[in-house]
Structure 1
Amino acid sequence: MDKFSNMSVFVKVVEMGTFTAVANHLDSTVGNVSRAVSALETMLDARLLQRSTRRLSVTDAGRRFYERCTAILADLENAEAEASDSILEPKGTLRVHSVPGLARHLVTRAVLEYRKEFPAVTVDLLLSQRMPNLLEDQLDVSILIARTLPDSAYVSQKIGVSHCVLVASPAYLAQHAPPAKPEDLNDHQCLLLGTVDYARDEWQLRSKSGTATFVPTGPSFSVNDMDAMAVAVRSGAGIGLLAGFSAIDDLRSGQLVRVLPEYHTYERNVYAVYTSRQFVDAKITRFVETLKARVGGQLADTARELIGRSPA
């Protein structure tokens, strides 16, 4: 391997954490990965990684060298991309992860709009509740809903804001008096949604007049998927939380009814996350722009309709 190849391997070892993960990613061997790092250490006369049978840790010298390597490799990649026009013209395969509910209601349509504008790009869309490792899973963009994102080496851009509202079917409310205040929810069948960013055991609600935390007791049903929750609520099983983007069509058609309509959950941000580097491929930048226009615009319209204002 030449110097730049060894630097690239070392960067991936720091980011992925193990020689094995890098070897699998590069379709190489653990021995080749180890030799690339050792060659750099010999050249620099410095220890870059501390190795043990269980884990790797980056030394101070290794951390400084990693930062320099990422900058150098990004400049090299930028120069190569400019020569091939990939900075300016979206093309190739774009691999996208999204949380399922958002993908089913908004992201898939945004992907189709993007494909119409940039037909030279093929999009692979993966749905999962959990945020993936973009490097290990070889993904370009992840679309997430979260109050805040954990610190990472990734770049994130805010696409929009989402809220959940309390809903029930007309049939359920015909048999049970609608609650007038959050405490009245104790007299109802409460259906619990538990996803990565929504705790099953309490509903944190807010309104113009204040906030309320309701702890459901003895729930009859709980689920970790927004669309499955929508099915249960439409079936008349009880009162549940649904994201505005998931509930809005049923609310407009009358299949669902707002419960405690002055209340909604605290806002969650919708983020597009991609790997941190100086050069970003045109297929990624144009896709994030499409997400902001399509998904962000629809989230803002929904917020205005359901909570009476545009999200910040």
Structure 2
Amino acid sequence: MDIVQSMQIFVRVAEFGSFTAAADSLGYSTPHVSRSVSELEVHLRAKLINRTTRKLALTEVGVRYLERCKAIIEDLKLAELEAAGAHLEAFGKLRMHSPNGIGHYHIISLIAQYSELQPNVDFELNLSQVTPDLLAEGYDLIISADSRVPDSGFIAQSLGTTYSVLCAGPGYIREHGLPEEVGDLKAHTCLRLHDPAFPKGWEIDGYDMDEIISPRQTFTVNVADSIAQAAKENMGVCLIPSYVAAASVGKGELVRVLPQVRANQRSISVIYPSRHFLDAKVRTWIEFLKKHLPERLMEDERVLRSGASGILTPAR
């Protein structure tokens, strides 16, 4: 028994006051309409319509049930219109996940800009280093800053590429000197960032970093902002993502070390379940990301290049 269809038939019978007229308006046979109402009464264990040879009359229960049915059917129509229009107008809550660094330095600012264009979209942003299960945790999309995007069956669109750079605090450089080549790092304190995307730590092409970096663990942390802060405190040399480094290098709080080195290359991607029936809020947000995030990553590049020319001459 299709309860919704039976309710619609009952409403039409009540409105027309006739099984035959209701059947004609719906394109059903009169016996089908009569049987549907009877089955609905059996299902409810209540008499809805008193039938005589000349007319139909709703019972007291039928009158109350009719109003409920009309409200439910109207809600269903509104739900259908809302769902069907979701691909046309951006509205509702958008749940997304991003890694800490890219989220803090770029995604939040982009959300603010997007919200001026689409004020009916609310964002719920989760920041963490651990990539969640997109479907199980109910996200509309996730931003990935992994070196490799897993083959998950989801849609992944590239938003650009980034890399990590070596930095140190001005005070540390004045005291310990500026390394001129990668091998010189043996004589320096190297701070460690625990990054799930790079479990081996520092990855610089052509070098076995395990042989260069001292195994002595002076400081290890799992958030790039924190390792950058440690470098600002002149604790040693750090390797941090370009979007974290750019903010501090631009202010002179950190100095580029070995500016020719680009380590821990990574891709920035947006990952979502499907292209089919994509909500307008998801579609327009992805389009906004694809247009504006690469611009911000290029600005990071510009800042890092300008900060690589030697803003500090270390004392020897």
1:210-243 per-residue CA deviation (whole Å, 9 max, x = no partner) reads x434222213111111111111011110000111
Q: Which residue does the alignment assign to 1:174?
A: 174
Segments of 4+ in structure 1 off by > 3 A? 80-84, 304-308
1:10-49 per-residue CA deviation (whole Å, 9 max, x = no partner) reads xxxxxxxxxxxxxxxxxxxxxxxxxxxxxxxxxxxxxxxx
Say if 2:80 is the partner of 1:91.
no
Letter in 2 for 1:248: A
Rate the CA distance shift 1:147–1:307 in 2: closer, same or farther, 3 A: farther
Residues 95 and 124, structure 2, Cα contact 8 Å, conserved in 1: yes
Identity %: 33
Residues 249 and 304, structure 2, Cα contact 8 Å, conserved in 1: no
Rate the CA distance shift 1:83–1:142 in 2: closer, same or farther, 3 A: closer
Q: Which residue does the alignment assign to 2:60?
A: none
Residues 21-32 of structure 1: pairs in structure 2 closer than 5 A: none
Q: Which residue does the alignment assign to 1:286?
A: 284
Q: Which residue does the alignment assign to 2:61?
A: none
Rate the CA distance shift 1:142–1:83 in 2: closer, same or farther, 3 A: closer
- Paired residue for 2:272, among 267, 274, 277? 274
More divergent stretch after superposition (244-253 vs 184-193): 244-253
Q: Which residue does the alignment assign to 1:109?
A: 109
Q: Which residue does the alignment assign to 2:262?
A: 264
- Paired residue for 1:250, among 225, 248, 251? 248
Instruction: State how far apart, in whole Å, the 2-side matches of 1:156 and 1:81 are.
Output: 29
Instruction: State how far apart, in whole Å, the 1-side matches of 2:83 and 2:184 are.
Output: 65
Residues 250 and 304, structure 2, Cα contact 8 Å, conserved in 1: no
Q: Which residue does the alignment assign to 2:159?
A: 159
1:284-306 per-residue CA deviation (whole Å, 9 max, x = no partner) reads 11111121222221112323443
Q: Secondary structure at the match of 1:125?
A: strand
Residues 250 and 303, structure 2, Cα contact 8 Å, conserved in 1: no
Instruction: State how far apart, in whole Å, the 1-side matches of 2:81 and 2:180 are.
Output: 60
Rate the CA distance shift 1:302–1:272 in 2: closer, same or farther, 3 A: same
Instruction: State how far apart, in whole Å, the 2-side matches of 1:286 and 1:277 are.
Output: 13
Cα shift at 1:130? 1.4
Letter in 2 for 1:203: W
Task: Identify unmatched segments of 5+ residues in structure 1.
Answer: 3-79
Residues 229 and 240, structure 1, Cα contact 8 Å, conserved in 2: yes
The CA RMSD measured in Å over matched residues stands at 2.0
- Paired residue for 1:225, among 212, 223, 226? 223
Residues 107-146 of structure 1: pairs in structure 2 closer than 5 A: 107-146=107-146
Task: Identify unmatched segments of 5+ residues in structure 2.
Answer: 3-79, 307-316
Cα shift at 1:266? 4.2
1:66-91 per-residue CA deviation (whole Å, 9 max, x = no partner) reads xxxxxxxxxxxxxx679732112111
Instruction: State how far apart, in whole Å, the 2-side matches of 1:277 and 1:202 are.
Output: 35
Letter in 1 for 2:93: T
Q: Secondary structure at the match of 1:228?
A: helix
Q: Secondary structure at the match of 1:203?
A: coil
Q: Secondary structure at the match of 1:258?
A: strand
Instruction: State how far apart, in whole Å, the 2-side matches of 1:83 and 1:141 are.
Output: 19
Residues 10-25 of structure 1: pairs in structure 2 closer than 5 A: none
Cα shift at 1:176? 0.1
Q: Which residue does the alignment assign to 1:205?
A: 204
TM-score with structure 1 setting the length: 0.68
Instruction: State how far apart, in whole Å, the 1-side matches of 2:127 and 2:295 are.
Output: 22
Cα shift at 1:260? 0.8
Q: Which residue does the alignment assign to 1:65?
A: none
Letter in 1 for 2:296: Q
More strand by share: 1
Letter in 1 for 2:271: V
